[in-house]
Amino acid sequence: MPELPEVETVRRGIAPVLEGRVLTRVLARRPDLRIPLPENFAGRIEGRRVEHVGRRAKYLLLRLEGDLVLLIHLGMSGRITIHPGEKLAQIEAGPHDHVLFETDGGDSLVYNDPRRFGLMTLAEGAALDSHPLLAKLGPEPLGNMFTGPHLSSALKGRSSSIKAALLDQRVVSGLGNIYVCEALYRARISPRRKASSVAGARAERLVPIIRQVLEEAIAAGGSTLKDYAKADGELGYFQHNFSVYGRAGEACAAEGCGRPISQIVQQGRSTFFCPGCQI
DNA sequence: ACACGCTCCTGAACGC
DNA sequence: TGCGTTCAGGAGCGTG
């Protein structure tokens, strides 16, 4: 499932195909994803040039000429496949191929999303930061604003678990279930610990670890876990090795530990952690 | 203001 | 083999 590293990998995959190119044809094969597509969605973006492919948290931001931005969220199962040298007419769309794009470079892109937890919408470029989907997002975990003091003050006074706090996109944006589990494991912090007790020294320690976990995943090309594919459609290109996620019952790999990884449920989500290492 | 549960959706995995 | 059930989860929204 796409979290920040996967979205960044998709961004890097599609940017060379899109940047500087005109979207000559856009086909929406259904009126909605998780939320309705904007009125006249295809018509509003057809004929516009893609100036830049950016990212904010887990949102892809396609800046189009005319101060329009196409926001894309991949949700749980969204993927973008590049069809090099193919026109839309040549593509036989499958049942979950919801939105198709063709560029004047002669390539096409297909947005596929079986569970339709993803979304696409349009925003005015000048008011992008105040768009409802982006306005409340916390700092980028790989950016300069995400610091020990920031995290510490965000956690102070929170009665929820540190797991829940790190999943809250207002605290830090872009983390999902997998990388929160991985970061807490590496930081040796229990996911059950109260967020307020992580404020201070533990928060200072956690920030560089979160960065490290994300950077390693990005470097590896993102995760191909389950229904996620690389942007260029190369399935099985990369298998990310998680330390705890999905490893319930397996021995903790930390030196001298070897205790079985636990799986619990927090806020209705699976949490994986080592009850020996993480305090 | 905060915390939590509910909800959307479908395919994969599991159990009988 | 086949059918029914459970689970996975991002994040907006409603409720307490």
Q: Which domains does chain A have, with CATH numbers?
A: 4-130 (3.20.190.10), 148-273 (1.10.8.50)
Q: Is the CB of A162 under 7 A from strand B?
A: no
Nucleotides of C under 7 A from a protein CB: 7-13
Q: Above 50 in pLDDT, residue A30?
A: yes
Q: Give per-residue pLDDT as tens, A53-111.
A: 999 999 999 999 999 999 999 988 888 888 889 999 999 888 889 999 999 999 999 99
Distance A16 CA to C7 C1' (A): 37
Q: How far is the CA of A242 from the C1' of C3 (A)?
A: 34
Q: Smallest CA–C1' separation from A267: which nucleotide?
A: B4
Least Cα distance to A14 among A231, A222, A172 occurs for A231
Angle (nearest 5°) at CA A218 between A216 and A222: 110
Instruction: Catalytic residue, from A11, A58, A202, A247: name it.
Output: A58
Average pLDDT of chain A, as a whole number: 89
Task: Quick: pLDDT tens for A174-223.
Answer: 999 999 999 999 999 999 999 999 999 999 999 999 999 999 888 887 44
Residue A233, SS3 per DSSP: coil
Query: Which nucleotide shows the minimum CA-to-C1' distance to residue A95?
Result: B10
Question: Is A2 assigned a catalytic role?
Answer: yes
A256 contacts A106 by C-beta, under 8 angstroms = no
Q: How far is CA A227 from CA A67, A71, A137, A151, in A?
A: 33, 21, 26, 32
The C1' atom of C9 and the CA atom of A46 lie apart, in whole Å, by 33
Q: What is the pLDDT of residue A217?
A: 87
Burial of A173 from C-beta contacts in 10 A (0-12 / 13-18 / 19+): buried
Residue whose Cα is closest to the C1' of B3 = A160
pLDDT at A236 over 70: no
What does pTM read for this prediction?
Answer: 0.92
Residue A240: predicted pLDDT: 67
